[in-house]
Amino acid sequence: MKVDLHCHSCVSDGLLSPSEVVRRAAANGVELLALTDHDHLGGNVEAAGIADELGVQFVNGVEISVSWMDTTVHVVGLGVALDDAGLQAGLAYIRSGRDSRALRMGEALANIGIRGAYEGAMRFAQSSALVGRAHFARFLVEQGYCRDVGTVFQHYLIRGKPGFVDHPWATLAEAVGWITGAGGVAVLAHPGRYRISGAELIGLLSEFRRLGGRALEVVSGADDEELRRRMAHHAREFGFLASCASDFHGPEESLVDLGRMAGLPADLDPVWKCLGR
């Protein structure tokens, strides 16, 4: 079965509407899809409706921003109830910090001579509660500072670069708690992409499992085979279910299209087994 359990719409920092995401996934042959916008559930109803029309199985999703040690990690929630008050309140609380962070990013970029970045980023975002680094990156590409979004991140937006602003997101315990409280499965997103040591990753996986996290994105985006092998090993070691994720944001920006990732190693238990299908 072709499965993609992590992607974005313009509700957060994707380029397509929720409907366009589902249509594209269906055209790519995806049979089971989850939409996982950052810190927001808003695209799920529209996506589920179109998925139903097109005969694509759909799972409600979200990707929660978490501060862990000195880094940011992401926890995907799959199969969450959209009307869960605890999850809704938690996500609203996380979103409430985005505007002030963006204002500070604008000031930080102004300090190195890049004017109007906050207003510029806001032209690419749907609301100030959802403005993020990808919207700043699109503005900087538009202004000719870099040739593509990835280069903007490298030079301006990752930790240690002039446009980076530290920000407290949810704790790992909060994110897992909100997801499981809403009846969902907590999945650690793109575990191979964090800039942490091997020992720290083991610490993260242990804590995530202890808190109730159940799955790992063994396949994520354009990760290479070596990385997939390492994450598959961690899934076996910790007894995590395995998820399969494009982390698609848009046709020109993402290296991997919806549903076009590598498959899961056959011996792993896929996370969709426990998603009620």
DSSP secondary structure string for all residues of the chain: --EE--B--TTTT-SS-HHHHHHHHHHTT-SEEEE--BT--TTHHHHHHHHHHHT-EEEEEEEEEEEETTEEEEEEEES--TT-HHHHHHHHHHHTTHHHHHHHHHHHHHTTT-TTHHHHHHHHSS-TTS--HHHHHHHHHHTTS-SSHHHHIIIIISTTSTT------B-HHHHHHHHHHTT-EEEE--GGGSS--HHHHHHHHHHHHHTT--EEEEEETT--HHHHHHHHHHHHHHT-EEEEE--B--TTT-SS-TT-SPPPPTTSPBGGGGTT-
- From the list ligand AMP, Mn ion, none, pick the one residue 150 interacts with, judged by a Cβ distance below 5 to 8 Å according to partner type: ligand AMP
**One of 153, 208, 248, 272 touching ligand AMP (CB under 6 A):** 153
Reading the block at residue 144, the tokens are 């000719």
Whole-angstrom distance, CA of residue 44 vs CA of residue 41: 6
Looking at residues 24 to 83 of the shown chain, list those that interact with ligand AMP (rule: CB under 6 A): 38, 65
- From the list Mn ion, ligand AMP, none, pick the one residue 138 interacts with, judged by a Cβ distance below 5 to 8 Å according to partner type: none
Q: CB of 177: closest distance to ligand AMP in angstroms?
A: 20
What is the contact mask toward ligand AMP in residues 192 to 231, using x (rule: CB under 6 A)? ----------------------------------------
Binding residues for ligand AMP, rule CB under 6 A, total 10
- Return the number of the residue (190 or 214) whose C-beta is nearest Mn ion: 190
- Return the number of the residue (87 or 134) whose C-beta is nearest ligand AMP: 134
Q: Does 6 bind ligand AMP (CB under 6 A)?
A: no
**One of 133, 190, 214, 228 touching ligand AMP (CB under 6 A):** 133
- From the list Mn ion, ligand AMP, none, pick the one residue 153 interacts with, judged by a Cβ distance below 5 to 8 Å according to partner type: ligand AMP
Q: CB of 38: closest distance to Mn ion in angstroms?
A: 6
What is the contact mask toward ligand AMP in residues 87 to 126, using x (rule: CB under 6 A)? ----------------------------------------
Instruction: State the residues that interact with Mn ion by CB under 5 A.
Output: 13, 63, 74, 189, 247
